A and B are shown apart, each in its own frame.
Chain A
Amino acid sequence: MAYIIRRIILLIVTMALVSLITFAVFQVMPGDPIRIMLGPDADEVQIETLTKKLGLDQPLHIQYFDWVGGLLTGDLGQSIRFSKPVSELVIDRLPVTISLTIMTLTLVVLVAIPLGIFVAKRKNKLSDVVFSSVTQLGMAIPSFWLGMLLILYLGMNFSFFSVSGYVPWSTSIVGALGALLLPAMTIAIPQIAVKFRYVRNAILEQLQLDYVRTVRSKGITEKFVMYKHVLRNSMIPILTIFGLITAEVVAGTIIVEQVFALPGIGQLLITSISYRDFPLVQGIVIYITFVVVFINFLVDILYSILDPRIRLS
């Protein structure tokens, strides 16, 4: 209980800090949201009317405290750029980003772990060396470029893959898969290329440990040794890494959503920053902070599920 309270306090402090930093950045960033939105063709009269109407004539710190005030009542405010409530915009886009994140993580887990095991079993053999080289390559690939490649080779040749836009799961599961698979692969492939190495090393490290010898001495076959004991134990360090990549994946979605025209949080964030949409930026930043802290929390809980030493201490 105390642990959960501490977590919640940490979450609140982090969110407050992040929002303050965002505020500070906006303080020094030039650019008037109304003008950016309307462009040079706007009628001055109209700009004046709108600025007043949206309260943007107020100094930024007043806007900030208004926003904080709203936040305390659960109101994230109104987006300037889209003339819609921030919460509505964020919630509309959540399914996309969350689906993409979960799909990416699933891909990473489903590929990196078996691949890591595969390579660990063949330590220092040819396949191990080959995959290590692939790692180097994987780390060097920029994700937008990889996205383009995937679009060119998969998107263009298989109508199953969609190269642009999003189809909600409720409309068509196949459509949603088609829309998300390429972007998920785009984020996942470099992650897999790097992370399977960690899995390999975690497993190799476990294989060195005394308990493995004990298990073997009981006459347990190598398959069981690997999948029941070693893998389960390796999950603890692996989980740490996967907790970390979640943040990287969320960051990855920002670029990939641009490339694939996916209407997710990342795309919204970029738009909101370039349009100086202060309430929207704050809303998204709060959301992302929440997600990252929440995932860390989840990882901690998973730790305790996996590791009785944590659970029972």
Chain B
Amino acid sequence: MKKNKRWFMFISLMLVCVLLISACSGEDGATPSTDAPGEDVKEVRDEIKVRINSDPDFLDPHLATASISFQMILNMFEGLLSPNTDGSLKPAIAESFELSDDGLTYTFNIRDNVTFHNGEPVTVEDIQYTFERLMGTNSGEPLSSNFDKVASMEAPDADTFVITLTEPNTNFLYSLTALEAAIVPASNDDQHNDNPIGTGPFKFVSYSPGVDLVLEKNEDYWNAELPHLNKVTFAFQSDDQSALMALQAGEYDLTSVPAHRIPEVENDFKLEYQQNNSSLIITFNEENKPFDDVKVRQAVNFALSKSDIIDSVYSGYATELGSNMSPAMGKFYLEGLQDTYVNDIEKAKELLAEAGYPDGFKTKLTVSSHNVMYTNVAQVAAENLKQIGIDVEIDVVEWGIWLDRVYRGRDYEMTAIDLTGRPSAYDILNDYISTNDAENFFRFNNAEFDQVMADVLLEPDVEKQVALYQRAQEILAEEAAAVYIADYQVVWAMDSALEGFNMYPFFFLDMSELRFTE
């Protein structure tokens, strides 16, 4: 019958369409997950699939700023120096360096056998190119303000690179890690984002937006023992629930797990608890009433129960804080500040009355919706504050709006946010708070604090630096610059055969020493 023929034509047409479409999808992409546990018998696995919450903002290390990006791309890039797991620095592309007595001139001795992923050796010209690009020397488009105080750079010979500053800065070395100044080849100009090339233990294979970032072993890595893995796939999945299921189904080897879901995975997977050096805070717009009054801020500090928040939001997997600084920062951390404001409602009421608010007041707590953590914190805080008569309205906004209104516009009364960990104690304390920092969205204004932070940059002696940093922490606590609640832990669940998982006091998933043992 003729109609059958027409139907047949239609169906075949559809089939051809499907085939064409699938053919177009072609080329690369992940291999099917045939490597489910138990399927392979003898060979030790050398490929890993790591779940990451979202895409990197840029692959170009100079453009990237989101901590999530560095979590991945630090595996591809190195600076002259590298951060250590304890927050100190270690040599990387620079084998060693010397600092002149006036604290202005840094002389770096460049390692010999370092090559870029494209096979080219790292030259002092590349280093020069890297810094000029960051400073916008040639393009007029600066990508970092870290090098504003650089007086000059020179390369007296092929193995030496010299940077001279206009004034001493004891924190300057932290600007030389891959987080701030990854060394990239001059030959790759304009392509750093599309085809990132660095010197790190892994090299770039492919990036599919929304899908994954694939890296493979850099066979010519200057440290011949590393890395162990052949291939690393960072797969993007924003949904914790789905990620957990994928982990259980054997599709992911490593993922973070929300604290309250730990019981579901603790038997089958290896867990690591990362003290990640970020501080969850509730802070205020301190320029306006009522939070311009230190007594009000202190009252809020007394009224809020850190343990309530830690228990309900982090299931206990968090450490109470007294300032920005977390115990993850070792010697820089001042122990004991967390007890400055022990939950005390009466005291809080007293302070509020002294400040002229015996009956409390109404205020608004604006939080971003992109992570439930903030909303949860806000709810506990609102309950706590009700006890002293502060009536808190919680305003949940989109991340983009939070950034626009709270962070940039400073048009808010209270907010809850976590400040990302940095390897540098200076950055931790200075960012967002110091009046000379453009990101001071608290509008915190304290002359002594600013002075201490200025002094520390000029102080060559590390012990004295520590003392100054600790004083700064005290000031933040005394002045109740914010309610410093906790450094919450990131809980990593991974295949139990994995070993060599390094944890840093900032977001970095170091793949270089990771390996499967069986």
> Is B30 among interface residues, defined by CB-CB distance under 8 A?
yes
Residue-wise, chain A 161-174 has the 8 Å CB interface mask toward B (1 for contact) of 01111111111101
> Is A210 among interface residues, defined by CB-CB distance under 8 A?
no
Asked whether, in the complex, the Cβ of A49 is within 8 Å of the Cβ of B141, the reply is yes
User: With contacts A35-B400, A37-B57, A167-B30 known, is A43 near B67, CB below 8 A?
Assistant: no
Q: Which of A37, A159, A258, A263 contacts B66 (CB 8 A)?
A: A37
> Is A83 among interface residues, defined by CB-CB distance under 8 A?
yes
Q: Which of A39, A45, A152 contacts B142 (CB 8 A)?
A: A45
User: With contacts A37-B66, A43-B65 known, is A82 near B142, CB below 8 A?
Assistant: no
* Closest partner residue, chain B, to A39 (CB atom): B66
> Is B42 among interface residues, defined by CB-CB distance under 8 A?
no
Considering the chains assembled together, what is the distance between the CA atoms of A52 and B235 in angstroms?
A: 31
Asked whether, in the complex, the Cβ of A46 is within 8 Å of the Cβ of B65, the reply is yes
Give the distance to chain A from B21, nearest Cβ to Cβ, in Å.
5
> Is A92 among interface residues, defined by CB-CB distance under 8 A?
yes
Give the distance to chain A from B233, nearest Cβ to Cβ, in Å.
10
Give the distance to chain A from B206, nearest Cβ to Cβ, in Å.
11
Q: Which of B242, B404, B438 contacts A261 (CB 8 A)?
A: B242
Give the distance to chain B from A183, nearest Cβ to Cβ, in Å.
11
Give the distance to chain B from A159, nearest Cβ to Cβ, in Å.
5
Considering the chains assembled together, what is the distance between the CA atoms of A178 and B14 in angstroms?
A: 21
Asked whether, in the complex, the Cβ of B401 is within 8 Å of the Cβ of A45, the reply is no
Q: Which of B27, B144, B239 contacts A45 (CB 8 A)?
A: B144
User: With contacts A162-B33, A176-B22 known, is A155 near B400, CB below 8 A?
Assistant: no
Question: Which residues of chain A come closer than 8 Å to B208, judged between CB atoms?
Answer: 92, 263
Asked whether, in the complex, the Cβ of B252 is within 8 Å of the Cβ of A164, the reply is yes
Asked whether, in the complex, the Cβ of B242 is within 8 Å of the Cβ of A49, the reply is no
> Is A71 among interface residues, defined by CB-CB distance under 8 A?
no
> Is A93 among interface residues, defined by CB-CB distance under 8 A?
yes
Considering the chains assembled together, what is the distance between the CA atoms of A36 and B420 in angstroms?
A: 15
* B side interface size, CB within 8 A: 70
Question: Which residues of chain A come closer than 8 Å to B54, judged between CB atoms?
Answer: 271
Question: Which residues of chain B come closer than 8 Å to A98, judged between CB atoms?
Answer: 18, 21
Considering the chains assembled together, what is the distance between the CA atoms of A232 and B194 in angstroms?
A: 53
User: With contacts A99-B21, A170-B23 known, is A43 near B144, CB below 8 A?
Assistant: yes
Asked whether, in the complex, the Cβ of B403 is within 8 Å of the Cβ of A32, the reply is yes
* A side interface size, CB within 8 A: 71
> Is B372 among interface residues, defined by CB-CB distance under 8 A?
no
> Is B248 among interface residues, defined by CB-CB distance under 8 A?
yes
Q: Which of B24, B31, B404 contacts A95 (CB 8 A)?
A: B24
User: With contacts A152-B245, A155-B249 known, is A166 near B29, CB below 8 A?
Assistant: yes
Considering the chains assembled together, what is the distance between the CA atoms of A92 and B26 in angstroms?
A: 10
Residue-wise, chain A 278-313 has the 8 Å CB interface mask toward B (1 for contact) of 000000000000000000000000100100000000
Considering the chains assembled together, what is the distance between the CA atoms of A32 and B400 in angstroms?
A: 6
> Is B187 among interface residues, defined by CB-CB distance under 8 A?
no
Question: Which residues of chain B come closer than 8 Å to A274, judged between CB atoms?
Answer: 370, 398-400
* Closest partner residue, chain A, to B31 (CB atom): A171
* Closest partner residue, chain A, to B370 (CB atom): A274
User: With contacts A38-B57, A95-B24 known, is A167 near B29, CB below 8 A?
Assistant: yes
> Is B119 among interface residues, defined by CB-CB distance under 8 A?
no
Asked whether, in the complex, the Cβ of A91 is within 8 Å of the Cβ of B144, the reply is no
Asked whether, in the complex, the Cβ of B242 is within 8 Å of the Cβ of A163, the reply is yes
Chain B 31-78 interface residues, beta-carbon cutoff 8 Å to A: 31-33, 36, 54-55, 57-58, 63, 65-67
* Closest partner residue, chain A, to B439 (CB atom): A40
Asked whether, in the complex, the Cβ of B242 is within 8 Å of the Cβ of A95, the reply is no
Asked whether, in the complex, the Cβ of B25 is within 8 Å of the Cβ of A95, the reply is yes
Considering the chains assembled together, what is the distance between the CA atoms of A151 and B438 in angstroms?
A: 47
Question: Which residues of chain A come closer than 8 Å to B32, judged between CB atoms?
Answer: 162, 167, 171-172, 174-175, 178
Give the distance to chain B from A115, nearest Cβ to Cβ, in Å.
21
User: With contacts A36-B403, A168-B29 known, is A159 near B36, CB below 8 A?
Assistant: yes
Question: Which residues of chain A come closer than 8 Å to B361, judged between CB atoms?
Answer: none
Chain A 69-128 interface residues, beta-carbon cutoff 8 Å to B: 79, 81-84, 89, 91-96, 98-99, 102
Chain A 13-60 interface residues, beta-carbon cutoff 8 Å to B: 29-33, 35-46, 49-50, 52-53
Asked whether, in the complex, the Cβ of B65 is within 8 Å of the Cβ of A39, the reply is yes
Residue among B30, B194, B438 with most chain A CB within 10 A: B30
Question: Which residues of chain B come closer than 8 Å to A195, judged between CB atoms?
Answer: none
Asked whether, in the complex, the Cβ of A164 is within 8 Å of the Cβ of B237, the reply is yes
Question: Which residues of chain A come closer than 8 Å to B193, judged between CB atoms?
Answer: 83
Chain A 141-185 interface residues, beta-carbon cutoff 8 Å to B: 148, 151-152, 155-156, 159, 162-172, 174-176, 178
Considering the chains assembled together, what is the distance between the CA atoms of A302 and B212 in angstroms?
A: 39
User: With contacts A99-B22, A166-B29, A170-B25 known, is A30 near B65, CB below 8 A?
Assistant: no
Question: Which residues of chain B come closer than 8 Å to A178, judged between CB atoms?
Answer: 32
Asked whether, in the complex, the Cβ of B400 is within 8 Å of the Cβ of A94, the reply is no
Question: Which residues of chain B come closer than 8 Å to A232, judged between CB atoms?
Answer: 3
User: With contacts A45-B143, A148-B241 known, is A170 near B403, CB below 8 A?
Assistant: no
Considering the chains assembled together, what is the distance between the CA atoms of A163 and B245 in angstroms?
A: 7
Q: Which of A50, A52, A170, A271 contacts B22 (CB 8 A)?
A: A170
Question: Which residues of chain A come closer than 8 Å to B10, judged between CB atoms?
Answer: 302, 305
Considering the chains assembled together, what is the distance between the CA atoms of A159 and B145 in angstroms?
A: 51
> Is B484 among interface residues, defined by CB-CB distance under 8 A?
no
* Closest partner residue, chain A, to B60 (CB atom): A83
> Is B286 among interface residues, defined by CB-CB distance under 8 A?
no
Considering the chains assembled together, what is the distance between the CA atoms of A176 and B239 in angstroms?
A: 21
* Closest partner residue, chain B, to A268 (CB atom): B210
Considering the chains assembled together, what is the distance between the CA atoms of A294 and B439 in angstroms?
A: 49
User: With contacts A50-B63, A156-B248, A166-B29 known, is A44 near B439, CB below 8 A?
Assistant: yes
Residue-wise, chain B 261-293 has the 8 Å CB interface mask toward A (1 for contact) of 000000000000000000000000000000000
User: With contacts A41-B66, A263-B210 known, is A168 near B25, CB below 8 A?
Assistant: yes
Chain A 171-203 interface residues, beta-carbon cutoff 8 Å to B: 171-172, 174-176, 178
Asked whether, in the complex, the Cβ of B238 is within 8 Å of the Cβ of A258, the reply is yes
Asked whether, in the complex, the Cβ of A83 is within 8 Å of the Cβ of B58, the reply is yes
Give the distance to chain B from A83, nearest Cβ to Cβ, in Å.
5
Residue-wise, chain B 417-456 has the 8 Å CB interface mask toward A (1 for contact) of 1001000000000001000001100000000000000000
Give the distance to chain B from A300, nearest Cβ to Cβ, in Å.
14
Q: Which of A36, A268, A305 contacts B399 (CB 8 A)?
A: A36
> Is A275 among interface residues, defined by CB-CB distance under 8 A?
yes
Asked whether, in the complex, the Cβ of A261 is within 8 Å of the Cβ of B239, the reply is yes
Considering the chains assembled together, what is the distance between the CA atoms of A31 and B408 in angstroms?
A: 10
> Is A238 among interface residues, defined by CB-CB distance under 8 A?
no
Asked whether, in the complex, the Cβ of A271 is within 8 Å of the Cβ of B210, the reply is yes
Query: Given known contacts A41-B65, A43-B145, A267-B210, what 15 new A-B pairs fall within 8 Å (CB)?
Result: A31-B404, A38-B57, A38-B65, A40-B439, A44-B438, A46-B142, A46-B143, A49-B136, A84-B209, A92-B208, A94-B21, A162-B33, A163-B251, A165-B211, A258-B239
**26 examples of A-B residue contacts, CB within 8 angstroms:** A29-B400, A30-B400, A31-B401, A36-B403, A37-B57, A38-B65, A45-B145, A49-B143, A81-B209, A82-B55, A93-B210, A94-B25, A96-B25, A102-B18, A151-B245, A152-B245, A155-B245, A156-B245, A162-B32, A162-B251, A163-B246, A172-B31, A258-B238, A261-B239, A268-B209, A305-B10
The 7 closest A-B CB pairs, nearest first, are A31-B400, A169-B22, A175-B32, A95-B25, A164-B246, A263-B211, A42-B65
